[in-house]
Each structure stands twice: as C-alpha cells, then as structure tokens.
Structure 1
C-alpha cells in the first residue's frame, strides 16, 4: 500500500505532480518544472518535503558503543550537537544503508535513514540492541529540507538560532523540532524535523510563502545531487557494494579500516589490503543526450570492446548545461580517459571526470 506524506494536502494545493518513491506518493515536480526548480535552488532557496526518510532514536547508557558497533566510526567520541555521514555494513562489507547519525546528548543519538530502507534498518538495529543497554524506536516526523544560497537568510526569520550552525552541526530547538545544517544538493542549507501536527503544517506554509522560496520535487532533487556527486542508496550502492568501490571509504576513520570491531570490519580490512576493483567516477557524455543508470561502459566503440563499468546514476545537469552521470569504473581507468556507454545499442563516448560537477557550498566552521 502506497503511503502519503503528512503534508500531502499542501503539495496538492501547490499543484504538485506525484509519483511513487520509497513506498510513498511523492511530489515529482511542481508547475515551475524540473529545470527551473533545479536552477532556483542553486540561485535562491528550494523547499523539499523529505518526510519519507526514517528517523530512529537510540537512547541509553550503551548508545555510543552500540552505534560504533553498527556503524564504522568512533561514535563515543562524536561531539554532542554534530551529525556524521556513515553507513551500516553487513558481515561481507556490503552497505545495508547510508545514514546521517547525530549525537543529541551524552546517551542519545538520532539516526536518519533512507525511506526505502526504513523497515529493514529498524529491524536490524533492534536486533543488534539485544546485546546493549539501549532503546531503539522510530520517531515519525515531518521532515523538510531548505536548500540554496538564501536558505540561511530565510530560515533565520523563523528559527533565529539556526544561523549559528555550520555544516553538520545540529540543534534541538524544543522538544518537537530538530535542525541540521546539511542537505543533499551541494548547496548550503538545512534539514528540519518537526513532530506531526498543526505546527508542522504552519511552519511549512510559512517557509513556502517566503518570496525567495519555491517548492522543489524529486526530479530536481535528483539532478541537484548528481551534479553535487552525491550517491543515492539503491542506485549507486547497495548490500552488494562495499565502501571502497562506492568511493565512500573516507567515512571510516583510518585506524578502523584495518583494525575495527564494527560489523563487517574483517571484510573491510581485507578489501583495504586488496584495493577496490572498481571506483566511483563522474562521467560527461558527448552531446546533449543523457546517459541513464544501468548503461554499461566499454573500453572502446568496437564490436569486441571489453566491459569496464556501469553508469549508476545519470541525467541532465541544468547548472552544467550538459548531461552528467555517476559511474562505477574499473580502477585502471583514470580522470580524463574516454570510455563508451551503451545507449540503446550505440556506443556513446564519455569522459571520466572528477566529482563533483559543481562545487559544494557548505558553510564550514574554522575547524572543518
């Protein structure tokens, strides 16, 4: 059964076009259209409803030790009031899901997980919790992302305390509202979680009515994150892909890559010793035709060409003015090399490019 977002009525009133995603009926675009929504986020402020994402609270004396067992980082050393990109691994080093984990108190963490993985993530964490003195519980919320160069100015009118945050810092403004300076577009911005109810609706309406703000759907969210070189779980990685191949090993502290105790540590140490057989890369196709996910990559355009990778995400990059893609490519190929994507039986020349396609514009603190 398809789920509906708590703010679905607001999106209907905004004339959203809906489509299925992660088990929800989600706004794909609004009357502005995907191209203009994308560019508006880059120039002003875009408002996204991301309430399909899963919030899981972990609380208890063993919370830090528990998170450090489930995720490959020193969770017990994480500063209160900060978030961290990480993931959960299986015993073979495959990625169960990628996450943002925020530490809210000495004994409390918030796990924000992908909507499509909500049920399996919760079941996984609850099973692990049997060996720790912690509680694991879901917390349904309205979850909004305000992204773009004018996001901070807009949000400060409604949550003045948000202005002091830098990238990946978080705060709880009261018992019902959580704010993180983070996002999925490469732009400066915030993610705001509010307990469901009239206040959440009013807050969303107030943001949407600001002159700098437009509602933005999943179509533009996808092109924004590809330009920013940000992977999507289920496309760019899954339980068969390890962090080295996904280009995400940077999220594991160096000392834990060879000597960790987290789930999958042995497999990661072995993979680090061997090295990744494939690596994540940007891909710029020739011409104006986008190359979509699952397109196979070859080392030449001849009939006997060898398969050397696959496109995992692809589309048109409105900010770049040309097609952009993320690919998993044999490690022997390097930035600047030409590879060939199979597009409906025709091999299209593409150039490997360093990610991201557009620079990240996060507001970083002095120590970051």
Structure 2
C-alpha cells in the first residue's frame, strides 16, 4: 500500500479554479488550470502568476551561531548572511555531490530554510544530526505561495506596501490583509516576484486577495517548469543530484570566495580541485533545431558521432518560441555556438550549445 498523496492548504481553491491535479512528490498539486500551461507561462512572463509551493519543506533553525554551523554542511557563506537577507545554497555530500538545494534566510532570532518537497525526509534529519546545539523544527502549519512576474510587485505591494521595499533575495515579516506573513523577494521563474509563507488557515483568503488583482492568474507545475527551464535554473533530480558537483552544474557563482578558498564543508577536496583544474563535464544550454523537444536522457553527440553527454531537462519554451534544453557535455565541449546532434527516438536532430539563460532574468536588484 502506498500512502495517499497529501494535500496543501490551497487544495480546495485549486479544485474550485479548475486545476488539473496530479501526484507530485507525494502531494496532490495542480499541473495546470483552464488557461493551459502555455497561457499560464506567457501570463507570468507578461504580468503575474500565483503558484502553490506549499509542498516544499519549511524549517526553522534556532540556536547559537546557526550560520557558522550551516557552513559545515554547505559551501555557502551563511555566517556572514545579514539579517533580512536570503541566500541560495546546497548541501554537499562527502563525494562533493549535491544532496539538495535550498534557500536560507536570516530572520534575526532564527534562520528560515526552504528545502525541496521530495527531500525533506533526508534534509531535516541531516540538519538535526549535524547542527550541534541547533533546534531544527519543520513547520507544518503554513502554506507557501509564489507570486511571480513583472506585475508581482503591484499584486503583493497593493496589499502590503512593505513588499515594495524589498530587493532581490531580501525577506521580511509583514501583514497582508491583517495576516502576518513572511515575504521573501525571490522565486523560480527568472522573473521578479515573491515567495510568501502564510498561516495555513489564512492561505486561501490571502491567495484570493492576490488573484483578485487584474494582473494575477493561477499557474501550475507545468508553467513553473517551463519558466525555470527558460531561466536556466536547475531542477533537483534532473540537472543536479547526489553525483553532480556544483562546479559541473555551473553553480560556482553560488559559492562565495571565502568558502571556495577555506573549504570546511563535505566534499571540499573534490570541489576545490575542480575549481582549480576544471570538471570532467559541465552543464550547458542546448537549443534543438526544428520543433521537437529533447527530453531528459536524450543522448548528445559531437558531429563526429561520439557520445559527449546527455540532456537533463528539456521541453518547449513558450517565450523562446521553440524547444529548449539543458544537459551535460564532457570537458573540451560546451562552448556557445558548438554544433551537436541529439539522438531522439533513434533519429539525429541537429542542435546548438548556447549560453544560459534562454530568457533574461528580471530580478529586482
């Protein structure tokens, strides 16, 4: 017997809005609404989309020197993370692979961490076991919604003026319609926007208030995936996993200089060696010619017919107007402009390696 999928606090609203519900990481989540994936994607790029991300794990860390202790698990500079700031990061394993990626925020008297839904069963025991003297508490009584797109500031800011003051990767606690929420200016679409942690009993009320704005429409998992792919953002389990190093995944930007130099995190020896000498493979953007999308595990060959890698994420990019993909190619390949062949269902499809992202990121700096 498998466990029935769990439901987020917004489940009834999704059904009411015509959401097509699917099982995702053990949760019943909307993959799309009547507008359709393409419509939701384009609306988010042009105005604003509301996404339910309540399946993600929300964790509070309390104790002395939490940031310093997190640095023993992550190659990010959390000891120097200022109050009110958020930072993208990841847990590494002893082999230098990525255990999960996460967002860490310094909330003043505690740190607030958001981890991937499918890996909360791994991440929370990992923090509990290794963060000595830190109280690790997963919170189950809050929803998490993302309002994303160029109109997000108006959608959220009209109800909460404090949200307008936040810059990218900043976080605060403020009232929305009289409900105390944690508002963070970040997201997973490449667009400006917010992720908002809301008490579960007020989640539908606050979400309805956002959706009452003329520019805001509900959006599901399908649009979330096509948006993040165009923005060149990694998906755990596809583009990064336990065997992939941050250097291979082109995530060097997410490791601060001090941490790269001093190490002191799991797998530091491999990661520092790859930073100095280069990795065996690297993540690149790939633009297939024609209209057929290249999905995960599609083989990438050089023009001489040798296998040089494989696709990890791929699909149709509505903003790009054609198929887009990301994948790994071996060292010596991967310069933008390099022509390659993709083997899709036994047929050769020409493609080109391109710089990421496919669509310019529009964060509020």
Q: Does the Cα contact within 8 Å between 2:84 and 2:105 map onto a contact in 1? A: yes
Residue among 113, 117, 120 paired with 1:118: 120
Residue among 286, 291, 297 paired with 1:288: 291
Q: Who is 1:326 aligned against?
A: 326
1:42 aligned to 2:39?
A: no
How does the TM-score come out when normalised to structure 1? Answer: 0.94
1:269 aligned to 2:272?
A: yes
Q: Does the Cα contact within 8 Å between 1:258 and 1:272 map onto a contact in 2? A: no
Distance 1:338 1:210 in 2: 45
Distance 1:152 1:56 in 2: 26
Distance 1:88 1:344 in 2: 36
* 1:310–1:86 Cα change, 3 Å: same
Q: Who is 1:317 aligned against?
A: 317
Q: Who is 2:150 aligned against?
A: 149
Distance 2:349 2:196 in 1: 42
Q: Who is 1:168 aligned against?
A: 169
Shift of 1:94: 0.6
Q: Who is 2:110 aligned against?
A: 108
Shift of 1:273: 3.3
SS at 2:154's partner residue? helix
Instruction: Deviation per CA, 1:297-329: give whole Å up to 9, x if none.
Output: 0112x6xx2110110100001011111011111
Residue among 92, 95, 106 paired with 2:98: 95
Instruction: Deviation per CA, 1:257-295: give whole Å up to 9, x if none.
Output: 242112222232233233111111111001011111111
Instruction: Deviation per CA, 1:102-133: give whole Å up to 9, x if none.
Output: 0111x52111111111110001111112xx22
Q: Who is 1:361 aligned against?
A: 362
Distance 2:160 2:70 in 1: 30
Distance 1:94 1:12 in 2: 39
Q: Who is 2:207 aligned against?
A: 204
Shift of 1:255: 3.2
Residue among 185, 190, 197 paired with 2:194: 190
Instruction: Deviation per CA, 1:168-203: give whole Å up to 9, x if none.
Output: 010012694111100111111111011211x22210
1:260 aligned to 2:291?
A: no
Instruction: Deviation per CA, 1:141-191: give whole Å up to 9, x if none.
Output: 200000111110111121111000010010012694111100111111111
Q: Does the Cα contact within 8 Å between 1:82 and 1:103 map onto a contact in 2? A: yes
SS at 1:283's partner residue? strand
RMSD: 1.3
Shift of 1:139: 1.2
Q: Who is 1:28 aligned against?
A: 31
How does the TM-score come out when normalised to structure 2? Answer: 0.95
Equivalent pairs, count: 357
Distance 2:154 2:301 in 1: 47
Q: Who is 1:180 aligned against?
A: 184
Q: Who is 2:353 aligned against?
A: 352
Shift of 1:137: 0.8
Q: Does the Cα contact within 8 Å between 2:300 and 2:308 map onto a contact in 1? A: yes
